[in-house]
Each structure stands twice: as C-alpha cells, then as structure tokens.
Structure 1
Amino acid sequence: MTSTQPDAPSESTKRLEEEGEIAADYLEELLDIADLDGDIEIDVDHGRAAVEIVSEDPSDRSLRRLAGQDGDVLDALQELTRLAVQAKTGERSRLMLDVAGYRAGRRAELVVIADEAIAKVRATSEPVALDPMNPFERKVVHDAVAAAGLTSDSDGEEPSRHVVIRPA
C-alpha cells in the first residue's frame, strides 16, 4: 500500500520551482553585474514559474530601469531569463517575470481598459478593437473578457497585434 502526503508538491510544481530557482540565480548575477540592489521572490502562479525582483527600499526607483518605459526592457529580460532556464533544463519555459511591481500595476490598468471596452460592447452590441498589446497584456484582457462572459480574439501581426472584444 502506498500513501501520498496531501501537501507534497506535484512533479510539475517541483519543475516550476526548479525553473524559478534557475531564473533567480541568473537574475542575481545580472543584478550584481548591473550593480543594482534587489530581492528575488519565487512563486508558482497559474501553472507558471513566477519570479519578481523587488526593491529592499520602497523609495528606491532604480529597479524600474529594468522594466523600461513601456515594459519593453522587462519583456526582453523575461525572454533572456526564459532562455537561461531552457539552457539548463532543456525545456521551454513559460516563466513570468516582474520587476518592481511593473506587471502588477500594468495588469490593473489593463483590467480598467478591458472593463471600459466590455461596457461599450454591451451598450452597442458592436465589436471593439483595442490598441496593440504584447502577449502578456493581451492575456490579461482575454481573461477579463472571458470573466465578463463576452468573447475576444487577437488580430493582426506583431507588433500591431491587438484584442478585439465581441458580444457573446
């Protein structure tokens, strides 16, 4: 007879935690090279490794440089971190990286944008196309639209790919 502990992490959770550890090591080296202070927090969120670089001092804004003005630097850093994880594990990573709360703040902004577009679709029964967004941003909008009971699609080619929200 075999027994399993209910709190034992699953194999996929262990793999995601390993991805987070590899990413943390990579990012620690990057912070050292860039002479930036920051702590690294690792989590598993929605079936993905989630890593965030946070400031030890809330008034220190130097980490925001790693996000860039519109998150472009953060997107590039996330891709480099995913490649570093892939080089160690041999598997493609879907790791999500946040720096100094940039993505969390952007997620809140996107939910407001999605809610406004959802209200317009409901009022007019006409589709609404949003401005171009990166994959992270489109995912946030798609999730908000699905939660509201409407449908959405991504349309166009990068970098002009955008979300179109439609009545259900």
Structure 2
Amino acid sequence: MDNPKNLDDYLAGLGISEADDDAPPPLLDPAASPVPLVAGEPDADPAALLDGFLKGLVGRIDPELQVNVSQDGMVVQAEIQGERASRLAGRDGRTLGAIEVLCYAVLSRQGHSELRVRVDAGGFRHRHAENLTRLAERLAVQVAKSGESHEMQPMPPSDRRVIHLALQEHPMVSTESVGEGSARRLIIRPRTDLVGG
C-alpha cells in the first residue's frame, strides 16, 4: 500500500478493514517493525490486544516511547510514556482522540465494542482535566456572584464530564448539558433551590 487514497485504504493498512477477516493483518512497512499493528484472536484479552496495537503504532512513531495498558471494568486505559510522549497529544488532544478512535476500532473488530478506551500520552489528559477543574471553579464563583448563567463553548463529552464532576457538590451552582452532537455544550447556572440565601 504505497499511496493510500482514502480512509478505507489507511484502515486496511492498519489491519482494521472489513476486507478479509481470516487474513493476518498487514504491516504498513514490513521492514519497519516485526510487530504487527493489530494482533490477536477474537475474544482475546482486550488489554493485550490494545497493548499489541499501540506498541506497533507507537513504535513506528517513536521507538523510544513505552506503552502501559490496563483494564478497569469496562474501560481499557493506555498510558504512553517517554521523553517525547506529550507530543502525541497534538493540538488540544486531537491526536490522542484519533488514536483512541483507532484503538476502539481495533477492539470493536475483535468483538469488544462494549468497552471504552482512554489513551493518555505524557500525562496530557491528567493536566487537561486539572485545568478544566480550575476553570470550572473560577466560573462557578463568577456565576454565584453575578447570579447569571454561563454558557460554555461546545466541547467533547469527556471535557463536559470533568466539569460536571468538579461542580456536582457545589453549593451555589449546578451544571447542565444542552444541544446535540458536536454542538453540545455545558451551562453553569446559579442554584435555584436556594431559598432566601
């Protein structure tokens, strides 16, 4: 596959096309690494499947990076570590998001579509969640003082969840998600259940 022309060609190169289910997944460049990007049998351990896939993918990007995969209930988590790991996050975590989509596709193709996938690189997601929590706390103070709601820009579900959790016990404000799809956003409102202050 010298010149992939569309998404199907790229996915086929990663071994996650719908083409031949019985054929072993191809390598993008057989000389680049002896580890295939997708390895394993259906019903294999999801953490092991994801570990094999990410080690193959990350090994092609930067052989110095390490991958640690674990499973906690219905969530398979992967941490990519190394000196340059945070570069994999991309702008606003978009590259990590794309890697998560590929990881989910790999697990889904192997019969694990019920699982959620979380991938972090160099602690990016942890730092991002801390920043969102601090933002939520600042906005909660502003909303409580002004008595007026604050509507945030559309954001991914994982970001909205961080803010909901950060403010769920707040005595002066509540949160609500409104809108549909990629336009879904969060509103921080003054609590209306406070009577007389």
**TM-score, normalised with respect to structure 1:** 0.76
Is residue 2:146 matched to residue 1:124? yes
**1:42 — aligned with what?**
69
Aligned equivalent of 1:75, options 97, 111, 117: 97
User: How many Å separate the matches in 1 of 2:148 and 2:74?
Assistant: 34
Partners of 1:82 and 1:92 within 8 A in 2: no
User: How many Å separate the matches in 2 of 1:45 and 1:153?
Assistant: 28
Aligned residues: percent identity?
A: 26
**1:164 — aligned with what?**
187
Deviations, residues 94-117 of structure 1 (Å, cap 9, x unaligned): 121111111011001000110011
User: How many Å separate the matches in 1 of 2:170 and 2:72?
Assistant: 22
2:116 aligns to what SS in structure 1? coil
Is residue 2:160 matched to residue 1:153? no
More helix by share: 1
- The CA deviation at 1:136 is 1.4
Moved more, 117-126 or 74-83: 117-126
Largest Rg, 1 or 2:
2
Partners of 1:83 and 1:93 within 8 A in 2: no
Partners of 2:59 and 2:65 within 8 A in 1: no
**AA of the residue aligned to 2:186:** V
Moved more, 71-80 or 128-137: 128-137
Q: Specify every segment of 5 or more residues in structure 2 that has no aligned partner in the other structure, as ranges.
A: 1-44, 192-197
**AA of the residue aligned to 1:53:** I
**AA of the residue aligned to 1:146:** Q
Aligned equivalent of 2:130, options 108, 130, 134: 108
| CA root-mean-square deviation | 2.0
Aligned equivalent of 2:166, options 144, 149, 166: 144
1:43 aligns to what SS in structure 2? strand
Alignment length (residue pairs): 146
User: How many Å separate the matches in 1 of 2:145 and 2:63?
Assistant: 48
**TM-score, normalised with respect to structure 2:** 0.66
